Structure 1
Amino acid sequence: MAKRALYVTLLRRAGGPVLSVVLLCLALWALHAMASEVTYRQIAGYVHALPNTDIALAVLLTAAGYVVMTLYDWFGLASIGRRLPARRVGLISFISYAFSNALGMSLLVSGSIRYRFYVQAGLSTGEVARVVLYTTLSFWLGLAALTGVTLLLVPIPPDVPLSGLRIPLAIVLALVPLAWFGVAVAVRRPVRVWRWAVNTPTPAVAMRQILTGALDWGLAAGVLYVLMPEAISGGFGHFLAIFVVAQMAGLISHVPGGLGVFEAVMLAGFGATGNHGLEAPILGSLAAFRLVYYLLPLCVATVMVIWREVRALRHAALVTPWFSSLLPPFFAGLTLVCGAVLLFSGATLAIPGRMEILRGFVPLPLVEVSHFLSSVVGMLLLILARGLQRRLDAAYVLTLVLLILGAILSLLKGIDYEEATLLSLLALALAPAHRHFYRRASLFRASFSPGWVLAIGAVLACSTWLVFFSFKHVEYSNNLWWEFSFHHGGAPRALRALVGATAVVMLVALANLIRPARPRRAYPGEADLARAMPLLKHFDSAQAHLALVGDKMLMFAPGDQAFIMYDIEGRSWVAMGDPVGTDEAARRELVWSFRESCERAGGWPIFYQVRPADLDLYLDVGMNLLKIGEEARVRLETFNLDGKSKKTLRGTVNKLSRDGLRMEIVPAEAVPALMPKLKCVSDAWMRDKKVREKRFSLGLFDERYLARTPMAVVWQGDELVAFANVFVTATKEEASVDLMRHLPEGPSGIMDFLFIELMVWAKAEGYRWFNLGMAPLSGLQNRRTAPLWSRFGAMVFGRGERFYNFRGLHRYKDKFDPEWEPRYIAVPGGIALPLALANVASLISGGIGGVVRR
């Protein structure tokens, strides 16, 4: 069973990327077959011969298209009643779409970029989800509307994929936006789905979504149409039919940017409409379209980043946190593009005129070495892009060096000043950004997600195809590998460069394969707890003492400057609370290390009960945040029993004091002597309550654990009637309790007495806060505009008393007049949230059985 589960996990993680690479290879094979008579020189010649007016019009339409794309976000924010500065929304929209259009939605995940930006702008997680849902719906509704109408009106050639299903497909696609608009017109109130109310759009909002998406796709088609050769037959209608089918095929393939798939369908479509002999111009127009619509916006975005970074050197306040958080993934994406440019350049034929100029002052060996090394540098940039996304300092330094080296090599191998300029621009933008790459972790510990594996595999597959396509007129022989020449050395150089790039990939893959296996569970011993003790004593949250229970594994930062306590349930690696320590850099690095350890083991990193002050630690690594409740903290400076609201508590304390109850604080070293009496109280309490011990976020009766902290005990005469172990910080910031037990036959109100006496004692000792612990699901809203998770949690809080005393616990803590502070759970994007929450509940309850019984 274990092997079967492993195979299922591997299939789930690698199946999608492998399928996408297979589809890409099939598309490249089909493209190679359809363009068998076309040479690389013909394609390059068409691109160079494009009229300046056509290029200018294509650029203008591209600019208009990206302006329309900003409407996705603008209207999405308006749909939830939020307004943000137009310049800020435009910038984030432009950057996210420049990435997603060029590299694919799955690579840098523009939704993740939006999430970090909008959360820092004050939106809740639910509001961000609604904006992303709005933009995604608009994108697909527009494509469905444009494709459906076009296919209904214009026939497509029989050789185009899905041509036999044109009418059924057109009807289905056209009905999607019509149905959406129909729902908006007919349904004027929220739709009940079980116990939730789902808001429907107004007719104006639905129409705006459809028209914005259709206009976006129409402008993209217009960019390619003006670059197409004038000799193509069929007019714009036939062109649009083929274009939308090709775009849909590219999106379905999940290949980044639809690279290869889009081109293959376009060439098949035009080849079937009588445009024989135009294969080279059509491929040339597709190449120009990639440059204008995809690469040009990335270059513009690079210039914008350079401008902001240069200004930031003079005015530090200009770089706002929301913009700074975008820079690492932004630079990672551009580095990926630059690596692909170097690999594609190394796989194609150099311009003869430039080689003739180069021959006059650069020796042939230097040209050969430069060509080979430029492809190696390109592949290294693809790999280092992952390190930049992870904010690794070593990746930053190596990328900067390789960008400069790549620019020099581009000039030496063929005076390719275009790619040298691109690499130099990125190096200039990256140079002042060192502060954003602060992690000192090893490059060899970085894991590669399926999306990154797909991107690197796609670039390598395209490079391989380009080598065989560019030099298909050259007959292969073994001697080809050893030919060195200015005029006839293009094919040998490309083959050697391809082997060099492939060797780099294989070495990196081998290094990942021979990494240490997933570590076994190792719960802390006395030595580990001794390492943790100084950190938790000086941490500002007393709840860090839960590490002393010993039921959670500890992950330490280098130098023991911070630690994370966690346990594993299913695929969930659940950390209890925030990283413990006072060194902020060590805590931040530990969050990254924990996430990477989880990814290497195929797990989900989850941080449970994190505080508002540390939310940026999880936003930086791209995690999502959900409110799970509120923690009650009493400000001891103002705590007293005066006033009418404290009359009941005051009466309870006075009565029990007259009955002979007294509290004593027993130091940790004296607790073992009391252990037999403590156990009698605990056993009686457990029998009376008919409950089982909890764990993870709560302590349990364990003699070794209880002997590590002071103990508050309540005596009635010589009889011990109640106890609670006490958490205190050396900084006097906070005091708290964990395990609380009392005799069932003890006097009524004994726990109120214990809490009041503890607060009085803590106030006298100079502590600032007394922590009463968390009230789960407290503070979540059940309003119509609230996020789905918040409404679900509020419903459980109000109606789930049969499973857990949610309201009663909140009311009990509230009578001490605490200040309620929200607590969150940080989860990675894209996981099944219910399963993750079930894993957390199972950890706390001591197994899945404890979730359903007390």
Structure 2
Amino acid sequence: MSPVSEKSPLRRIAAIAGPLMALVFLGIAVWLLDDGLGREGYVQIGSAIRLLPIGTILLAVLVAAVAYAVLILYDVLALAFVGRRLRLSQVVPASLLGYALGNNIGYTLIAGASVRYWVYRSYGFGAGLVAAIATFCSLGFVLGCVWVGGAAFMLWPLPLPGWLPLPWSTTRPLGFALLALLACYVTLAASGKVRVRVRGVQLALPSLQLTLGQLGVATLDLLTMSATLWILLPSPLPFDEFLSMFMLALAAGVVSQVPGGLGVFETVLLMQLRDRLPVSSVVAALVVFRLLYYVLPLALAATWLAVRVLRNGSAGWNASATLTGRTRNLVPQLLALATFAAGTVLLFSGATPTALGRLAMLHRFLPHPLIELSDFLASLVGVVLLLLARGLQRRVDAAYVLVALLLGVGIVMSLAKGLDYEEALVLAGVLIALLAARKRFNRRASIFDTPLSRSWVISIASVLIGSLALWYFAFRQGHYAQQSWWEFALRAEAPRALRATVGAAVVAVAVAVARLLRPMPEVAPLPGPEVIARAGRIAQLAVSTHGYLALRGDKALLFSDDGRAFLMYGRQGRSWIAMGDPVGPRSKGRELLWRFRDLVDRYDGWPVIFEARAFWLPVYRELGLVATPLGEEARVDLRSFSLNGATFKTLRQAHASLPAQGCCFDILPAAAVPALIPELARVSESWLSTKNTREKGFSNASFDAAYLAQFPLAVVRYRGTIVGFANLWCGKGKYELSVDLMRHAADAPPRTMDLLFTELMLWGQRESYQWFNFGMAPLSGFGHDATVWSKVGAFLYRHGEHFYNFQGLRQYKAKFRPSWVPLYLASPGGVALPAIILDVTALMAGGVMGILRK
């Protein structure tokens, strides 16, 4: 089986269905918004915003602050759910950063969970605990929507459009259904016996007390959130009627999958309010609400994080300040989002009129053609910033340099196109924050190879659609409507804005077409002899020996740009599983891992590193991966190894008695192995038959004549016949000695392998090797903490002997008194972890059915 295969057509269709539906919803929202605005134009809406009383805005800011303070209570309840306690100063960063990102990106569960992983993992929480916390918080919000929405639809029903094919005319039946659903859930929670599965993770429902707490917190959350907008509206509208409208618009925004519900939420509310309140006042309230509840918290969170990083330098936050290497990974994410926002500001500014007073003042110093060019270039800079923000998120150094240069150009263009100093200040703020975080962007990679995720494509397309819609709404009336797009004059702002907006859209479409026409990275087949030999030469130069696994030829290989390092991987299901850390110079490994991440993202997969070592964990955290304990690697220090003492009595007896019975140990050069293949095959078949098992793959050894012929071989002969063998891996500089395939015949004398390993370690000691690597004992060392995965691993370790000899393997290796080094599974973690573990197990077992057989 090829380790990596193409997506099926069905999966390809499913992958693009979500983005297309989001854009369809956004297009419908823009169309309805045009109808809802009626004769109201850009000037009227701008005047309505300026007429909002300062006191009203300050009151809305206060209520929004209370709303975000309420959000912290979700995490407080979640910690009670998982049985952990933290100081409030430790909970606040996880909660507020998570919601500041999630509310703007639009995928609160994903973005909020990612932030919680970075923060809570720094407190020692396991992946299972963090997944439970994130799920609990999201469940609380959903329950609140069902409760508040159901009650509002029942008590203050809204009329439904006549064109909907429904037997009822109001939202009251929907409210009844929602409340009935909530009652069923509360009943199940009260029973205390129900467990649910969330993407393969089994979770107990919260207790009745916690469920009521969730409902209380969510009610406060939704009431304060809606009150923030209601305060900004003209006074005649009662709050109870508005609440029903707000919940309907909120639900529409979530279902649309448009980031932050932008446009959809506003349109649904406007369509309901346009007959009750002045349209310009409603739109002004919606714009200010979006700024206060979404943009302002994000800006404050980004500023707070940047200040903490700068204050603490490379050391980050200490335990009391709650920042570690994990949470410092938020900096590129937030700066990427800030860069995206800066590009949006430039595009939206280019699509709207410039203050005539400023334009006339500017014309005294700059010629008209330069003003035209500045307006056009500012929009082009905006769309390029949208595209480069993804590279910034991936820490690409070239993207960092270009974004910094373009922000500088954008500042100049903002001033040169209309003295837009507010816009220039926003860009300058982003630029200062970017320059302060220079060390976070040190990936030497091509910006053209950075994949755009579906959510990123949706966001860029949404901004472009919004920019075009904003141009239309701004210039559809008055003298603007009479201007032709080719007209060049100082007051011909509609044509100038249209040229800038269309130019930006053309650039975005050109980039999209170029990406579509560019062939996908080749799905790697199994490597040929030349590629395997190339990997073998790199493995020979590494002090670690696991790189020799590439010589089996059953894994795809990804090489660094200079060909000095490689990563071996396979695919099972959605998981792309790298076998171990990068092989080769460590300086090349980081970029190689990022290339692997980019490759996996292009195919919408899960990047997984199997048997990751602690040295690489900071890089895996950069990639957004979570380290889950996997087992322990046994390493014997050959410099101090000895058979003396009571501890090694059994090994000493085997070492003395077996030679007297006719056994002898020998190490054969690789050149001597081909002639012994038939005899080795007999030993291997006898071992498989005795163990009642079959050959496996990936990380597990399997008998292959061509593979064995590439290495020296340690053998034990009994009366001249080979009864046990193991092939040797020899690391560079004699740092590490290890074995891969180990087999013994059924008729071999007892403790034959004891003799083989003892003699091999003594030989390694004589040859001045430092360490003997005995390989991993899976699930070893589990049960020391209260994480879900630790408990599961400890249970499998104790009761999973039918499927794998977990305890026996560790006990056997423990006879040699090794040092135990932890190994990890680096993966996206969370609710995907069970599926990933199943994929890894299936890959090693040769398929899902192979898991059920030994």
SS across alignment from 2:125: coil
1:192 to 1:34, Cα distance in 2 relative to 1, 3 A: closer
CA contact (8 A) 1:157 1:269 kept: no
Q: Which amino acid aligns with 1:572?
A: S
- Among candidates 29, 36, 39, match of residue 38 of structure 2: 36
User: Corresponding residue for 1:621?
Assistant: 623
SS across alignment from 1:481: coil
Q: Deviations over 1:463-516 (max 9, x none)?
A: 1211111111268999712112222x1211121112111111112112212323
1:593 Cα deviation after fit? 0.2
Tell me whether 1:446 sits opposite 2:417 in the alignment.
no
- Structure 2 gaps of 5+ residues are none
Tell me whether 1:811 sits opposite 2:811 in the alignment.
yes
1: CA distance, partners of 2:90 / 2:721? 67
User: Corresponding residue for 1:109?
Assistant: 111
User: Corresponding residue for 1:64?
Assistant: 66
2: CA distance, partners of 1:658 / 1:332? 71
- Among candidates 164, 167, 177, match of residue 172 of structure 2: 167
Q: Which amino acid aligns with 1:147?
A: G
- Greater shift, 816-825 or 828-837, is seen at 828-837
1:529 Cα deviation after fit? 4.0
User: Corresponding residue for 2:714?
Assistant: 712
1: CA distance, partners of 2:852 / 2:212? 47
Tell me whether 1:245 sits opposite 2:244 in the alignment.
no
SS across alignment from 2:562: helix
1:763 to 1:78, Cα distance in 2 relative to 1, 3 A: farther
1:180 Cα deviation after fit? 5.0
2: CA distance, partners of 1:713 / 1:547? 23
Q: Which amino acid aligns with 1:209?
A: Q
Q: How does 1:628-647 map to 2 (within 5 A)?
A: 628-644=630-646, 646-647=648-649
Q: Which amino acid aligns with 1:156?
A: L
1:143 Cα deviation after fit? 2.5
CA contact (8 A) 2:112 2:134 kept: no
User: Corresponding residue for 1:120?
Assistant: 122
Q: How does 1:530-541 map to 2 (within 5 A)?
A: 530-533=533-536, 535-541=538-544
1:422 Cα deviation after fit? 1.0
1:461 Cα deviation after fit? 1.3
- Structure 1 gaps of 5+ residues are none
- Greater shift, 610-619 or 832-841, is seen at 832-841
Q: How does 1:372-383 map to 2 (within 5 A)?
A: 372-383=376-387
Q: With the length of structure 1 as denominator, give the TM-score of the two structures.
A: 0.91
User: Corresponding residue for 2:441?
Assistant: 437
Q: Which amino acid aligns with 2:176?
A: I
1:311 to 1:191, Cα distance in 2 relative to 1, 3 A: closer
1:341 Cα deviation after fit? 1.5
2: CA distance, partners of 1:314 / 1:141? 41
User: Corresponding residue for 2:774?
Assistant: 772
- Greater shift, 95-104 or 3-12, is seen at 3-12
- Among candidates 729, 732, 736, match of residue 730 of structure 1: 732
Tell me whether 1:343 sits opposite 2:347 in the alignment.
yes
Tell me whether 1:521 sits opposite 2:524 in the alignment.
yes
2: CA distance, partners of 1:446 / 1:197? 35
CA contact (8 A) 2:375 2:413 kept: yes
Q: How does 1:5-44 map to 2 (within 5 A)?
A: 6-44=8-46
1:313 to 1:198, Cα distance in 2 relative to 1, 3 A: closer
1:217 Cα deviation after fit? 1.7
CA contact (8 A) 2:201 2:831 kept: no
Q: With the length of structure 2 as denominator, give the TM-score of the two structures.
A: 0.91
Q: How does 1:427-506 map to 2 (within 5 A)?
A: 427-473=431-477, 480-487=484-491, 489-506=492-509
- Greater shift, 661-670 or 684-693, is seen at 684-693
User: Corresponding residue for 2:300?
Assistant: 300
User: Corresponding residue for 2:290?
Assistant: 290
The number of aligned residues is 843
1:302 Cα deviation after fit? 3.8
- Among candidates 373, 389, 396, match of residue 392 of structure 1: 396
SS across alignment from 1:72: helix
CA contact (8 A) 1:107 1:256 kept: no
User: Corresponding residue for 1:77?
Assistant: 79
- Among candidates 532, 535, 545, match of residue 542 of structure 1: 545
- Among candidates 32, 45, 48, match of residue 46 of structure 1: 48
1: CA distance, partners of 2:338 / 2:186? 39
Tell me whether 1:227 sits opposite 2:232 in the alignment.
yes
CA contact (8 A) 1:121 1:322 kept: no
1:781 Cα deviation after fit? 4.0
Tell me whether 1:822 sits opposite 2:822 in the alignment.
yes
1:44 Cα deviation after fit? 0.6
Q: Deviations over 1:5-26 (max 9, x none)?
A: 6321211211111101101111
- Among candidates 193, 212, 216, match of residue 217 of structure 2: 212
CA contact (8 A) 2:631 2:782 kept: yes
SS across alignment from 2:171: helix
What is the root-mean-square deviation in Å for CA atoms of aligned residues? 3.1
1:389 Cα deviation after fit? 0.9
CA contact (8 A) 2:26 2:263 kept: yes
Q: How does 1:326-337 map to 2 (within 5 A)?
A: 326-337=330-341
CA contact (8 A) 1:546 1:698 kept: no
SS across alignment from 1:361: coil
1:786 Cα deviation after fit? 3.7
1:325 to 1:484, Cα distance in 2 relative to 1, 3 A: same
1: CA distance, partners of 2:369 / 2:109? 38
Identity, % of aligned pairs?
41
SS across alignment from 1:752: helix
Q: Deviations over 1:184-235 (max 9, x none)?
A: 5443x785989998544344433332222221221111211111123x43x1
2: CA distance, partners of 1:509 / 1:108? 25
User: Corresponding residue for 2:140?
Assistant: 138
Tell me whether 1:512 sits opposite 2:518 in the alignment.
no
2: CA distance, partners of 1:481 / 1:646? 90
1: CA distance, partners of 2:573 / 2:142? 35
Tell me whether 1:255 sits opposite 2:247 in the alignment.
no
User: Corresponding residue for 1:744?
Assistant: 746
User: Corresponding residue for 1:607?
Assistant: 609
2: CA distance, partners of 1:262 / 1:191? 34
CA contact (8 A) 2:127 2:829 kept: no
Q: Which amino acid aligns with 2:412?
A: I
Q: Deviations over 1:806-826 (max 9, x none)?
A: 343333333434344333323
2: CA distance, partners of 1:192 / 1:280? 47
SS across alignment from 1:608: strand
User: Corresponding residue for 1:236?
Assistant: 239
1:307 Cα deviation after fit? 2.8
Q: Which amino acid aligns with 1:775?
A: A
SS across alignment from 2:694: coil
CA contact (8 A) 1:108 1:329 kept: no
CA contact (8 A) 1:632 1:772 kept: yes
CA contact (8 A) 1:102 1:294 kept: yes
1:214 to 1:814, Cα distance in 2 relative to 1, 3 A: same
SS across alignment from 1:457: helix
- Among candidates 409, 427, 430, match of residue 426 of structure 1: 430
User: Corresponding residue for 2:326?
Assistant: 322
- Among candidates 139, 151, 156, match of residue 153 of structure 2: 151
Q: Deviations over 1:1-59 (max 9, x none)?
A: x9996321211211111101101111111111111211111111010111111111111
1:786 to 1:828, Cα distance in 2 relative to 1, 3 A: closer
1: CA distance, partners of 2:505 / 2:456? 16
- Greater shift, 32-41 or 832-841, is seen at 832-841
SS across alignment from 2:437: helix
Q: How does 1:352-391 map to 2 (within 5 A)?
A: 352-391=356-395
1: CA distance, partners of 2:89 / 2:377? 41
- Greater shift, 843-852 or 214-223, is seen at 843-852
User: Corresponding residue for 2:844?
Assistant: 844
- Greater shift, 635-644 or 384-393, is seen at 635-644
SS across alignment from 2:326: helix
1: CA distance, partners of 2:657 / 2:483? 102
- Greater shift, 251-260 or 194-203, is seen at 194-203
- Greater shift, 18-27 or 459-468, is seen at 459-468
Q: Which amino acid aligns with 2:816?
A: F
